[in-house]
Amino acid sequence: MEFAVSRDGTTLVTLHGGSDTTACDDATAELADSFERLAADGTITDWDVSDAEVYEHPTAPFDPYTITLAFTVTVTVEADDADEAAERGARSIDDALERAGIDAISFTSPPSTSAV
């Protein structure tokens, strides 16, 4: 049976930006680009970046911003039941994010599954 498995999480992106707003916008665009590449190669089936907030302001004029981004990512897996799907989907999501170089991830919910 085919299942969609989703996880909510947060990640940190560190970059230079001219202001809080541009830093958040740039961080969102950077994460969205990573998710779009994963979707294009079929690694993930759906994604959303839902929030961006300044985690750490620069302490000097040329220091970077660190931005916290909230996201949801979904994969599709074959499994006999929802528990097996959750396990396979979570592994698949972890692997995809690692290959994409997205780190400093904290998952904010357990995997959720639904039959496709």
- pLDDT tens readout for residues 71-82: 999 999 999 999
The CA distance from 82 to 88, in Å, is 10
**How does pLDDT run across 17-32, given as a tens digit for each residue?**
788 999 999 999 999 9
Domain spans in the chain, listed from the N-terminal domain onward? 2-115
Cβ 47 vs Cβ 71: under 8 Å: yes
pTM for the model stands at 0.93
The CA distance from 14 to 56, in Å, is 9
**How does pLDDT run across 64-106, given as a tens digit for each residue?**
999 999 999 999 999 999 999 999 999 999 999 999 999 899 9
The correct answer on CATH 3.30.70 for the domain covering 2-115 is yes
